């Protein structure tokens, strides 16, 4: 059957009517009891370091860190439950999910749906009302239990929506981790379908699946969205469900979940607050697998470089590599390593440093005593600062986000932060010296 835009539920509809809700809507059943939707866990340590020659940049970075701590953090890091769910009449549009014509507010797909709805409401000049109506949705469904039914689903296809199968960060956090859900369905033998919106998968996608999920690799296939499935399994996340049950009040959120905040930054809150259980299960699986190999040759300290003509390589990378080499650091490129070698290198490392990029996803495999340094700009410090928080927390490592200057040819010291992609890092000799002072302190 042809799929056209007229079949999709409206993005600008009232959230009370367009979002799937237990007890009101059919078509979604959890196959296992998720237990506590939000579980407080230890988490890692995240620090900020200003290396810019412009005091305004350093101050804006620290102000942003304070804002996040006050408005988008809980008093404890939270692990969100994940369990398999069986759904009927599943629609995958781009990279969001609808069941029986209602959008599912769960996990990465829920984040994207929340963002799309907010954008649609802004376009319709109804921005002040989105947060209030979404708050009403949570309140209306606070006491409705999620449907749970133990049933055989071995022959039902397992479907994962992918945002970007050429980006290592999105693939690992949203697709590779979701495959751990199959551990709760022993004997599953149906196809595993990974949908994508634009570009087909990069080679690393199949490489990591084969390395970490060899028992499932032969059943994986890729299909371009939009797609409909009459009967399917998905990975269900307890993040938004925890908010629906007023979970934020149970774990000491540093703000009130009022309508304006829910409407403006719900996904930001969840991104900074913790990580999914699936991510922890992926880490544990990967560490079990590398125990079967010999990886003692990897260095304890290394700088991560990149190959392939990446346009964000700092002009000062040579000076950075030299400064780190004086301290016994070697230089590695993840592109040269197999999936298991990447996992092992991070897990064995004492100290790792690089500039902003998807390679920091591997921080999820770091040891609990590993020190990780990321060199970025105010742009990454303000817009991408939460990207790797989950990986730091799931590994319980120490993560320092350092902000230097922009590699930018314009007249402004602080260039436009949106609409021009990510700027490379420019760091002065004094900035390198300050970074090395912090690294030296961590090595003592």
What would the DSSP string read from start to end of 111-180?
A: HHHHHHHHHHHHHTT-HHHHHHHHHHHHHHTTTPPPPB-----TTSPEEEE-S-TT-HHHIIIIIIGGGG
Examine the domain organization and report whether 110 and 227 are in the same domain.
yes
Q: What is the DSSP string of 361-379?
A: GGGGG--TT-EEEEEE-HH
- Does 52 map to a domain? yes
Examine the domain organization and report whether 70 and 32 are in the same domain.
no
Number of folded domains that form the chain: 2
- Does 349 map to a domain? yes
Q: Which of 212, 245, 278 is the last residue of a domain?
A: 245
- Does 220 map to a domain? yes
Examine the domain organization and report whether 298 and 402 are in the same domain.
yes
- Does 139 map to a domain? yes
- The pLDDT score that the predictor gives to residue 261 is 44
Q: Can you give the pLDDT of all 444 residues of the chain as single tens digits?
A: 334 444 577 788 888 888 999 988 999 999 999 999 999 999 999 999 999 999 999 999 999 888 777 666 677 889 999 999 999 999 999 889 999 999 999 999 998 888 888 888 878 777 667 777 887 888 888 778 899 998 899 999 999 999 999 999 999 999 999 999 999 999 999 999 999 998 999 999 999 999 999 999 999 999 999 999 999 999 999 998 887 765 555 555 544 444 444 544 677 777 777 899 999 999 999 999 999 999 999 999 999 999 865 678 999 999 999 999 999 999 999 999 999 999 999 999 999 999 999 999 999 999 999 999 999 999 999 888 788 999 999 999 999 999 999 999 888 888 988 888 899 999 999 999 999 999 999 998
Residue 195, C-beta contacts closer than 8 angstroms, at least 6 positions apart: 92, 95, 159, 160, 161, 162, 222, 223, 224, 225, 227
261-285 per-residue burial string, b: 16 or more CB within 10 A, e: under 16: bbbebbbbbbbbbbbbbbbbbbbeb
Residue 332, C-beta contacts closer than 8 angstroms, at least 6 positions apart: 298, 299, 302, 303, 304, 305, 345
Domain of 70? 45-76+293-443
Examine the domain organization and report whether 240 and 318 are in the same domain.
no
Examine the domain organization and report whether 315 and 381 are in the same domain.
yes
Query: Pick from 246, 238, 10: which is nearest to 141 by CA?
Result: 246
Q: How far apart are CA 300 and CA 45, in angstroms?
A: 20
**C-alpha neighbours within 13 Å on the C-beta side of residue 146:** 27
C-alpha pair distances (Å), 408 with each of 99, 294, 377: 46, 44, 11
Indicate the pairing of strand 192-196 with strand 158-161.
parallel
- Does 278 map to a domain? no
Examine the domain organization and report whether 331 and 198 are in the same domain.
no
Indicate the pairing of strand 274-276 with strand 38-41.
unpaired
Peptide bond before residue 49 is cis, with ω within 30 degrees of 0: no
Examine the domain organization and report whether 67 and 204 are in the same domain.
no
- The encoded tokens of residue 243 equal 């908010």
Examine the domain organization and report whether 61 and 187 are in the same domain.
no
Examine the domain organization and report whether 298 and 413 are in the same domain.
yes
Q: Which of 180, 213, 245 is the last residue of a domain?
A: 245
- Does 270 map to a domain? no
Examine the domain organization and report whether 24 and 121 are in the same domain.
yes
- The pLDDT score that the predictor gives to residue 309 is 57
Q: How far apart are CA 202 and CA 268, in angstroms?
A: 28
- The pLDDT score that the predictor gives to residue 72 is 65
Examine the domain organization and report whether 12 and 113 are in the same domain.
yes
Q: Which of 245, 272, 307 is the last residue of a domain?
A: 245
Examine the domain organization and report whether 241 and 342 are in the same domain.
no
- Does 279 map to a domain? no
- Does 266 map to a domain? no
- The pLDDT score that the predictor gives to residue 91 is 94
| Number of residues written out for the chain | 444
């Amino acid at each position: 059957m042809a799929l056209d835009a007229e079949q999709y539920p409206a993005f600008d509809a009232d959230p009370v009517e367009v979002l799937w809700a237990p007890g009101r809507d059919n078509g979604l059943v959890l196959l296992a009891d998720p237990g506590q939707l939000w579980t407080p866990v230890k988490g890692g340590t995240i620090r900020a370091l200003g290396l810019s020659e412009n005091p305004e940049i350093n101050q804006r970075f620290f102000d942003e860190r304070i804002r996040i701590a006050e408005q988008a953090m809980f008093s404890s890091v939270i692990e969100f439950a994940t369990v398999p769910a069986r759904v009927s009449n599943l629609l995958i549009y781009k990279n969001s999910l609808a069941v029986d014509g209602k959008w599912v507010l769960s996990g990465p797909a829920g984040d994207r749906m929340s963002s799309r709805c907010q954008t649609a409401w802004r376009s319709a000049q109804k921005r002040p009302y989105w947060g209030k109506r979404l708050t009403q949705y949570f309140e209306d469904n606070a006491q409705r239990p999620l449907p749970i039914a133990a049933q055989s689903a071995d022959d039902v296809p397992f479907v994962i929506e992918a945002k970007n199968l050429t980006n290592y960060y999105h693939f690992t956090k949203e697709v590779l981790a979701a495959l751990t859900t199959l551990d709760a369905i022993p004997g599953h033998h149906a196809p595993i379908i990974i949908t994508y919106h634009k570009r087909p998968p990069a080679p690393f996608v199949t490489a990591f699946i084969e390395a970490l999920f060899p028992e499932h690799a032969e059943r994986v296939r890729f299909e371009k969205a939009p797609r409909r499935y009459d009967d399917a399994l998905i990975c269900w996340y307890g993040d938004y469900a925890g908010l629906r049950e007023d979970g934020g009040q149970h774990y000491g959120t540093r703000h009130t979940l009022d309508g304006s905040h829910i409407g403006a930054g719900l996904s930001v809150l969840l991104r900074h607050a913790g990580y999914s259980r699936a991510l922890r299960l992926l880490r544990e699986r990967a560490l079990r697998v590398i125990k079967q190999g010999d990886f003692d040759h990897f260095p304890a300290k290394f700088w991560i470089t990149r190959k392939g003509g990446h346009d964000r390589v700092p002009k000062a990378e040579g000076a950075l590599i030299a400064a780190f080499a004086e301290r016994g650091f070697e230089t590695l490129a993840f592109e040269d390593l197999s999936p298991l070698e990447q996992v092992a290198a991070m897990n064995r490392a004492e100290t790792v440093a690089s500039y902003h990029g998807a390679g920091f996803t591997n921080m999820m495999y770091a040891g609990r005593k590993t020190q990780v340094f990321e060199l970025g700009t105010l742009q990454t410090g303000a817009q991408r600062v939460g990207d790797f928080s989950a990986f730091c927390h799931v590994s319980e490592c120490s993560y320092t986000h350092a902000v230097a200057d922009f590699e930018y040819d314009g007249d402004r010291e602080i260039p436009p932060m949106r609409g021009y992609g990510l700027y490379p890092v420019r760091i002065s000799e004094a900035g390198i010296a300050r970074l090395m002072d912090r690294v030296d302190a961590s090595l003592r």
